[in-house]
């Protein structure tokens, strides 16, 4: 018998195998967060593509199973078990991941969901459970544990306040915290950013910052992909991201990228770093119901003119140039451009709690920690 079928017999938990069950999996958060004033409904069409192995290149090097938990015939929770071969190959590991966790405030249901994930992963030889990733490193990751009163920025998760306690009661423990910092136009230290600019130029003669060229976008994606994999190679949670995955992400982001906030740093013409900050389209998606039709597209076009914040979503500096302040230079470029266009704030993150260098940089220019997201880990025995 198929191992997924065995696990689906667990009382109250079903392996997602039909289109109706997949619809329930996608729809659950819309009901679960219906009374949460800061939750932002994602576009359902985007969620469908994210979970579709035929459309998401992440699954060319990973497997995933989706599970639903029921209570009195109604969906009470959901979770995914993910076997990421790229992660294990890069880290010489045998880890498995959980993702897409959402659940009512019910410890029994939570325990069932994590039990089925553990069993599914152990059948595939995994000896460690990590997560959440939804489903990969370039997607939403982590469980929010602080800052629930603040609306999540674009491509960032939002969680129920009780998740952390319920997850830890299943046996998982904190593995790493990720921070999101806020920089306000009213308190930003332009003087310190300008001094940092002078220091970087003295340390690295020949450095120049240019905007991402949307007319040559495919080549820019290849440059950014190369920098990212080199820059992040030794960071916690990293695995080598395929070019196909980066191209896929680039196509999704091209529609919302603004070149005032997307930059490549070059030294004597050679790319050494990049930063992609995005207008915070969650300010627009919050006014939609997860659909583009019939009125969602009109709302999107209307409200995007009123976006007043950005989020630094991706950044990388190749190892040879790390520690020279180039990350600060790129952060400055996006923030100065955004605030110069009348934006009131910028979110910088997520940032690893262990990346003390960039944390100090953001704090020195007036940033403060606004939200915290947690990654968990546990041996599978």
Domains of the chain: 3-178 (3.40.630.30), 182-374 (3.40.630.30)
Instruction: State mean pLDDT over 202-214.
Output: 96
**264 close to 274: Cβ distance less than 8 angstroms:** yes
pLDDT band at 289 (very low <50, low <70, confident <90, very high): confident
What percent of the chain has pLDDT above 70? 94
| 290/267: higher pLDDT | 267
Residue 76 has pLDDT above 80, yes or no: yes
Q: Could you give the CA distance from residue 49 to residue 181 in angstroms, rounded to a whole number? A: 30
What percent of the chain has pLDDT above 90? 85
| 62/340: higher pLDDT | 62
Angle between helix 190-203 and 326-340 (nearest 10): 140
| Other Cβ atoms closer than 10 A to 214 | 12
295-352 residue pLDDT tens = 656 566 666 789 999 999 999 999 999 999 999 899 999 988 988 888 999 999 999 9
- State the pTM of this model: 0.94
What tokens appear for 247 in the block? 């191209």
| Other Cβ atoms closer than 10 A to 53 | 12
User: Residue 302: what pLDDT?
Assistant: 62
17-31 residue pLDDT tens = 999 999 999 999 999
pLDDT band at 293 (very low <50, low <70, confident <90, very high): low
**Cα separation values, 81 from 51, 76, 146, 215, 340, Å:** 12, 17, 25, 39, 44
Please state which of the ranges 46-60, 99-113, 288-302, 351-365 shows the lowest mean pLDDT.
288-302
User: Residue 303: what pLDDT?
Assistant: 64
Q: Could you give the CA distance from residue 353 to residue 124 in angstroms, rounded to a whole number? A: 31
């Amino acid at each position: 018998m198929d191992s997924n079928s065995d696990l689906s017999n667990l009382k109250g938990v079903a392996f997602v195998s039909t289109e109706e069950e997949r619809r329930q999996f996608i729809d659950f958060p819309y009901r679960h967060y219906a009374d949460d004033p800061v939750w932002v409904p994602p576009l359902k069409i985007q969620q469908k593509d994210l979970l579709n192995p035929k459309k998401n290149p992440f699954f060319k090097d990973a497997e995933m199973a989706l599970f639903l938990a029921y209570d009195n015939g109604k969906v009470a929770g959901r979770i995914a078990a993910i076997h990421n071969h790229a992660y294990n190959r890069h880290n010489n590991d045998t880890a498995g991941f959980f993702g897409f966790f959402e659940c009512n405030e019910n410890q029994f249901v939570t325990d069932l969901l994590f039990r089925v994930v553990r069993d599914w992963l152990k059948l595939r030889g995994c000896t460690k459970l990590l997560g959440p990733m939804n489903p990969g490193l370039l997607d939403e990751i982590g469980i929010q544990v602080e800052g629930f009163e603040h609306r999540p920025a674009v491509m960032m998760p939002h969680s129920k306040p009780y998740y952390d306690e319920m997850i830890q009661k299943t046996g998982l423990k904190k593995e790493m915290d990720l921070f999101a910092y806020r920089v306000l136009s009213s308190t930003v230290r332009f003087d310190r950013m300008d001094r940092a600019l002078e220091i970087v130029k003295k340390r690295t003669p020949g450095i120049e910052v240019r905007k991402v060229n949307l007319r040559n976008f495919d080549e820019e994606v290849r440059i950014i992909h190369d920098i990212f994999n080199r820059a992040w190679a030794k960071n916690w949670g990293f695995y080598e991201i395929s070019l196909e995955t980066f191209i896929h992400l680039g196509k999704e982001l091209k529609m919302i990228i603004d070149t005032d906030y997307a930059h490549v740093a070059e030294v004597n013409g050679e790319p050494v770093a990049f930063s992609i900050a995005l207008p915070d389209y969650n300010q627009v998606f919050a006014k939609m119901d997860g659909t583009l039709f019939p009125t969602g597209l009109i709302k999107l076009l209307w409200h995007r003119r009123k976006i007043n914040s950005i989020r630094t979503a991706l950044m990388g500096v190749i190892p040879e140039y790390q520690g020279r302040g180039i990350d600060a230079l790129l952060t400055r470029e996006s923030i100065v451009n955004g605030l110069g266009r009348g934006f009131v704030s910028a979110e910088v993150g997520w940032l690893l709690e262990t990346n003390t260098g960039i944390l100090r940089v953001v704090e020195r220019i007036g940033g403060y920690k606004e939200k915290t997201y947690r990654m968990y880990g546990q041996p599978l025995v």
